[in-house]
Amino acid sequence: MSIEDLPAKPRLPIHPGGDPLFDAGKTGAPGFVLANLNRLVNWSRSSALWPVTFGLACCAIEMMATSAARYDLGRFGAELFRPSPRQADLIIVAGRLSQKMAPVLRQIYDQMADPKWVIAMGDCASCGGIYNNYAIVQGCDKVIPVDVYVPGCPPRPEQLIDGVMKLQKKIMAEGVYIPARG
Ligand code: SF4
């Protein structure tokens, strides 16, 4: 006797009286998934941050090391540094921001896709650092809104990774609709 000769197993209705919608395709596949839209959108946003390729000074070397093989920022979904701000939703301000570069930073930020986030990496980007003089902007938050500040001179790659993880936590707490920031 082959398996085809066996009598068909009676199908038990899931709902009393038999609901054709639920009873028709008992394949084991659920067919639908229930999820919180906020969590789903925020999870996809926080797990695939695309930073724009942008470095200003010595901190940028640590940023490059963070994305290379040893520290592997790809483990957190943020290793895909984009050459165009239009393809990026994260900017890591790595280094001191001179007055001359301030309008450039602002223009790059304005060209990035919404929603977008900013990490100020290092003392110089956060508050001017040791450069308390007329040539250096005393914190890039004077030019663009900053989400996470990473302290250090320079911060180690582990610190930048910690900053990315803190940003991910912040994104997970946001709503689906984030109004554009000025
Ligand atoms: S924080 Fe230190 S390492 Fe980073 S740009 Fe400033 S001086 Fe250089």
Does any ligand 1 atom lie closer than 6 A to the CB of residue 59?
yes
Q: Is the peptide bond preceding residue 115 cis, with omega within 30 degrees of 0?
A: yes
The residue whose CA has the least distance to atom 5 of ligand 1 is: 95
Identity of the amino acid at 2: S
Report the SS3 class of residue 93.
strand
Does any ligand 1 atom lie closer than 6 A to the CB of residue 92?
no
Does the pTM surpass 0.75? The reply is: yes
CA 126 to chain centre: 20
17-62 per-position pLDDT tens digit:
555 555 555 666 666 777 788 888 999 999 999 999 889 999 999 9
Q: Which of 98, 123, 133 to mutate to test the pocket of ligand 1 (most atoms within 8 A of CB)?
A: 123
- Picking from 129, 168, 128, 130, the residue whose alpha carbon sits closest to that of residue 148 is 168
- Taking 50 as the pLDDT cut, the residues of the chain under it are none
Task: Give phi and psi for 126, each to the nearest 5.
Answer: -80, -40
Determine whether 53 is exposed, middle or buried from the number of CB atoms within 10 Å of its CB (0-12, 13-18, 19+). middle
Mean pLDDT taken over the chain: 87
CA of 115 to the centre of ligand 1 (A): 28
DSSP secondary-structure letter at 145?
-
The residue whose CA has the least distance to atom 6 of ligand 1 is: 124
- Picking from 180, 34, 13, the residue whose alpha carbon sits closest to that of residue 112 is 180
The pLDDT assigned to 172 comes to 92
Report the SS3 class of residue 94.
strand
The residue whose CA has the least distance to atom 8 of ligand 1 is: 58
